[in-house]
Structure 1
Amino acid sequence: MISKLLTDTCAKVQAKRERRKEARPGELLAAALELFVEKGYAATRSEEVARRAGVSKGTLFLYFSSKEELFKAVVRENIAGRFAEWNAEFEAFAGSTAEMLRYAMLMWWQRVGNTPAAGITKLMMSEASNFPELAAFYQQEVIEPGHELVRRILKRGVDRGEFRPVDMEHAIYMVLAPMIFLMSWKHSFGACACPSTVLDPEKYLELQVQTLLYGLCAPAAGSTPKPQGK
């Protein structure tokens, strides 16, 4: 009886250890994201990531060969790896392109901008010049796919006669600029409690969408577009 009890206990401990081992990559990525956003890439040390994840530094290097590879995995986990999902949503979207643009910007805020992953963009903006290889990686894995997705949205509107023809390569930045601003704001002045920094991100994005769609000039009498969203 005692022998069976010991065997069962050992089996449970072993199973727990195996489950823990499987969970470690995710825990390491979560800890790394927190530290990269808090301290920046240069100031974050591998042993700090391991400590926060509750494992040894040696365990970290079983999964990621270097801090650089760890950072790349964080980017893929939180942003780059989601473009397949976002492009599938583009393909399946049945509404107008104006509705698609509004949906894309607001969903971006909920899924990325309002999460710790938003800090990755601010990090890259501040440290890219010091780490050109990481900058090239980010360009290929995040910036270029992001540009292509926004380009597809705008082209859809033009092709369907919903948007007027525009300089597509510059129009992309008109869509991205408010998103980049919000990510920078969230991890700088937005983290302060100063009243002058209060900003409702969703209201801000809704106004940006309306400005993109309708411009700032007042339309002819009787044709004022009705505000949509909140």
Structure 2
Amino acid sequence: MPLSKLICNTKPTVPAKHERRKDARPGELLAAALDLFVEKGFAATKSEEVARRAGVSKGTLFLYFASKEELFKAVVRENISGRFLEWNAEFEAFEGSTADMLRYALAMWWARLGSSKASGITKLMLSEADNFPELAVFYQHEVIQPARDLIRRILQRGVDRGEFAPVDMKYGVYTVLAPLLFLQLLMHSKIACLDNADASPLVPEEFLAVQVQTILDGLRVRPASPPTDEGLESL
């Protein structure tokens, strides 16, 4: 589906009021909170709105989450940071080349997270982190640092195996993160909904394939240059 349709045709849904199992309520509250946080931002989302969209009372919400801040943290853990255990396990079990690992990592990031509503949390944090320093520290610890560490492990694997040329890991990590961040911001921006007759829709999978190949071309080990004639004469 074109990115513009993915963004512009999304409409919030309000669950019908009916009797539900008590153990299903936390998941319903987290889903409703994710929708509202991404649609409206953290500051503008009210606890009573989350409860109403989930079809429960505000009091019921606070039985499970002590505050809006704790609700937000639970949303992040449910949709993003809770997945790093799985992703690191995949890193340990991967048997192919590191180039294939990097291609797989970016493709799976899009399939599992980037294409989901949860990717809008990144835009929220970029917009509101200054106003909520406690949440900024939480997000740094729960999402940003684990993501950097995993990408660093992938790049270091390639260097250690002689597949990649040595690279400054601090900035190498950002080279991989940059296209992911771009896609997340574009996906949750109204500019993606504007019609442009001169431009074909951006297809995320194709965009990421081009980006990862560009990164791999920059990382590949190049053969040593042969000595010049001047160098031979000096021997």
Q: TM-score when scaled to structure 2?
A: 0.82
Pairs within 5 Å for 1:31-70 = 31-70=32-71
Q: CA deviation at 1:20?
A: 1.6
Determine the C-alpha separation between the residues in 1 that align with 2:193 and 2:47. Answer: 28
Determine the C-alpha separation between the residues in 1 that align with 2:21 and 2:115. Answer: 29
Q: CA deviation at 1:194?
A: 1.9
Aligned with residue 208 of structure 2, among 201, 205, 208: 205
Q: CA deviation at 1:134?
A: 0.2
CA RMSD of superposed structures (Å): 1.8
Please list the CA deviations of residues 76-132 of structure 1 after superposition, one character each: whole Å capped at 9, or x if unmatched. 000000000000000000100000000000100010000000000010001011111
Determine the C-alpha separation between the residues in 1 that align with 2:60 and 2:70. Answer: 14
Please list the CA deviations of residues 131-157 of structure 1 after superposition, one character each: whole Å capped at 9, or x if unmatched. 110000000000000000000000000
Pairs within 5 Å for 1:77-88 = 77-88=78-89
Q: Which moved more, 1:206-215 or 1:29-38?
A: 206-215
In structure 2, what is the equivalent of residue 126 of structure 1? Answer: 127
Do the aligned residues in 2 keep the contact of 1:190 with 1:197 (CA within 8 Å)? no
Q: CA deviation at 1:215?
A: 3.6
Determine the C-alpha separation between the residues in 2 that align with 1:197 and 1:127. Answer: 32
Determine the C-alpha separation between the residues in 1 that align with 2:61 and 2:80. Answer: 21
In structure 1, what is the equivalent of residue 177 of structure 2? Answer: 176
Determine the C-alpha separation between the residues in 2 that align with 1:100 and 1:118. Answer: 22
Q: TM-score when scaled to structure 1?
A: 0.84
Which runs of at least 4 in structure 1 moved beyond 4 Å after TM superposition?
Answer: none
Q: CA deviation at 1:197?
A: 7.6
Q: Percent identity?
A: 71
Aligned length: 202
Structure with more contact order per residue of length (Cα contacts < 8 Å, sep ≥ 6) = 2
Q: Which has the higher helix share?
A: 1
Listed as ranges, the gaps of 5+ residues in structure 2 are 1-17, 224-235
Q: CA deviation at 1:54?
A: 0.2
